[in-house]
Every structure is written in structure tokens, then in C-alpha cells.
């Protein structure tokens, strides 16, 4: 944000913040309770009435001092301001706005003050199919970020001395990976994730669409029920009780594919990379038994 000093320039400060937020003069006017002409007058050298300053500051989620160009660091209400900023963002832009802040946090963890634009600016400089990554690996935790037009994601894991217990105790990963390494199970899962999840189905859907026999379809149903990906309902049809299924998608499956994809493709292009971690990622004590 460009900071313009002096009360006589407060209107230009409002114009600068309005353009940064991507809103119209009409939006500012409606929120503050003035005419569009009043906002236009401010932006062309006028000064708002003093009693309007709190509402103007609220609209832009800044302090009144910021309207006067006083740029000082105050972290006392940072979380509230950040939450309010995202809440006030239009629904279709909320995730993009949040991802922008995550990009800033990633750079801050790297030790760099974000001053070179938004993540959209960075991505616009990339080719359509280019992929970039960022990772911070320290003894205090680690991050992993996908930055690209192809795939975006962000993972932050603070250091936790009990992470091994949380991940490994009483969990049979080999059974899980065995289930999903079966191509018919995996293909059925992908098929369902591409389908509208509110549509009910029977096992005949797998038989017809995935070209399998009844036994294979029954086995897939059993696996998907095991992981609560589908739920069975019994309905009366033609004087018979028939099983129909409802799909219960979880984003965890997509996240699993994201990181499996990353391990397979072995990312090479990093915009930020910090490998200063010395601790093992999993605690050795978890293997003592």
C-alpha cells in the first residue's frame, strides 16, 4: 500500500486503499452513508468530516491513523483485522484472499518482508503449466506450498513432540495403502469424486461405468464403507429392499493425491527453500515397542 502523509492528502489515501481493495466509490459511499459525489470529492483533494473517519477506517479494515498516512506497527488487534478483512471479502474471492495471506506468511517465515506484490502477480509471471514450490523446514515446524497456475495448496505443521503418536499409534497404514493400491478401488474413488456427490447410486453403477463384475463391485462397496466414504440406505422398490448408497467425499483424499503427486513428480523448482531442520520428522520413541 502506498502511504501518503498529511491530512490534506487523506482523500488520496482513501483512493489508494479503495483501488487496492478493488471496490467502487459507490461501495464506499453506501457503507459510510454519504453520496458518491462526496467520495469523489475526497479523492480529488477534499477531506471527510471527522465523525466519518471511524466508518471509513472500518470499511478498509485499517486504523484511523492509517487514513492519515501514519504507518506504525501495531499487532494488538491483528487477528481481528485479518478475520474482518476475509469476512468482508466477496464469497467468490475469499479463498484467493486467504491464499494471498498464506503466501505472505510463507515469505515471513523465510525471513523476507513481503513487498513484491500478491501471489497472483507472481503466478502471472509464470507459464500456464509451470509449477513452483516453497518449503520451510526448521526445528520449529515445516511448511509446504504449491504455487502455480496448475495446483495451489498450503500446509503448515508446527513442531509437536507427540506427532509420531498422533500419526502412528494404532493406525494400520499398510492395510490402508493395500486397499487403495487396488486399481479398481482407486478408479472407483476417482470416479465418485468426479461425480455430483448428492446423487444416489447402487453397485450397478460401478458394474456399468467401470466395466466390472458383481463381485468386484461388492468388494469396492465394502472398502468404501470401511473408510466411511459411502453410506448405505435401504429402500423399498418393487416390493423388495434394495441398497442404495450416498457418497460422503472428504477433502483428505484430494490432499492425499496432492502429496502423493508431489512425491512421484519430485519437485525441483522452488521460489523459497529453507532446509535448516536437524530434528527427525518422527520421534524415535514411537518405534520402541
User: Quick check: is 64 in a domain?
Assistant: yes
From residue 240, give the alpha-carbon distance in Å to each of 203, 234, 243, 280. 16, 10, 10, 57
Q: Give pLDDT tens digits for 91-128.
A: 999 998 899 899 989 999 988 776 666 788 888 888 88
Q: Answer yes or no: is pLDDT of 4 > 50.
A: no
* Residues of the chain by 3-state class (helix, strand, coil), percent to 5: 50, 15, 35
User: Quick check: is 32 in a domain?
Assistant: yes
Q: What is the residue range of 72's domain?
A: 7-87
Q: Answer yes or no: is pLDDT of 268 > 90.
A: no
Query: In the structure grid, which three cell numbers stand for residue 274, read together?
Result: 529453507
Q: Answer yes or no: is pLDDT of 242 > 50.
A: yes
Instruction: Report which of 171, 172, 174, 180 is spatially closest to residue 223, judged by C-alpha positions.
Output: 180
Quick one: average pLDDT of 258-285?
Answer: 88
* Percent residues over pLDDT 90 in the chain: 47
Distance CA 73, CA 241 (A): 67
Q: Give pLDDT tens digits for 147-195.
A: 887 889 999 999 987 888 889 888 999 999 999 999 999 999 999 999 9
Per-residue pLDDT, 1: 42
Q: Which long-range contacts (CB under 8 A, 24 or more apart) does 18-24 make?
A: 18/43, 18/60, 21/60
Quick one: average pLDDT of 197-216?
Answer: 94
Instruction: Report which of 148, 157, 140 is spatially closest to residue 103, judged by C-alpha positions.
Output: 148
User: Quick check: is 184 in a domain?
Assistant: no
The pTM score is 0.70
What is the average pLDDT value for the chain, to the nearest integer? 86
User: Quick check: is 175 in a domain?
Assistant: no
C-alpha 102 chain-centroid distance:
8
Per-residue pLDDT, 62: 79
Maximum CA pair distance of the chain?
Answer: 82
User: Quick check: is 31 in a domain?
Assistant: yes
User: Quick check: is 245 in a domain?
Assistant: no
In the chain, the number of structural domains is 1
Q: Reduced to 3 states, what is the DSSP secondary structure of residue 122?
A: helix
Amino acid at each position: 500500500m502506498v502511504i501518503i502523509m498529511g491530512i490534506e492528502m487523506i482523500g488520496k489515501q482513501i483512493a489508494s486503499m479503495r483501488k487496492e481493495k478493488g471496490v467502487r466509490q459507490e461501495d464506499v459511499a453506501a457503507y459510510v452513508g454519504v453520496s458518491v459525489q462526496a467520495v469523489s470529492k475526497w479523492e480529488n483533494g477534499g477531506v471527510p468530516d471527522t465523525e466519518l473517519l471511524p466508518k471509513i477506517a472500518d470499511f478498509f479494515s485499517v486504523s484511523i491513523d492509517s487514513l492519515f498516512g501514519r504507518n506504525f506497527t501495531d499487532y494488538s488487534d491483528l487477528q481481528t483485522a485479518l478475520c474482518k478483512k476475509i469476512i468482508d471479502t466477496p464469497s467468490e474471492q475469499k479463498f484467493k484472499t486467504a491464499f494471498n495471506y498464506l503466501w505472505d506468511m510463507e515469505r515471513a517465515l523465510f525471513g523476507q518482508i513481503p513487498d513484491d506484490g500478491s501471489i497472483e502477480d507472481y503466478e502471472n509471471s509464470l507459464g500456464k503449466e509451470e509449477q513452483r514450490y516453497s518449503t520451510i523446514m526448521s526445528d520449529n515446524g515445516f511448511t509446504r506450498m504449491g504455487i502455480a497456475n496448475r495446483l495451489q495448496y498450503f500446509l503448515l505443521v508446527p513442531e509437536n513432540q507427540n506427532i509420531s503418536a498422533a500419526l502412528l499409534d494404532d493406525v494400520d497404514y499398510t492395510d490402508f495403502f493395500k486397499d487403495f493400491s487396488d486399481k479398481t478401488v482407486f478408479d472407483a474413488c476417482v470416479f465418485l469424486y468426479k461425480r455430483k456427490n448428492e446423487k444416489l447410486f447402487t453397485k450397478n453403477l460401478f458394474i456399468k461405468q467401470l466395466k466390472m463384475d458383481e463381485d468386484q463391485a461388492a468388494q469396492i462397496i465394502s472398502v468404501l464403507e470401511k473408510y466411511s466414504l459411502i453410506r448405505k440406505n435401504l429402500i423399498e422398490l418393487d416390493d423388495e429392499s434394495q441398497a442404495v448408497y450416498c457418497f460422503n467425499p472428504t477433502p483428505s483424499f484430494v490432499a492425499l493425491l496432492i502429496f502423493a503427486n508431489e512425491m512421484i513428480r519430485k519437485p525441483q523448482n522452488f521460489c523459497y527453500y529453507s532446509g535448516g531442520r536437524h530434528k527427525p520428522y518422527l520421534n524415535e520413541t514411537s518405534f520402541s515397542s
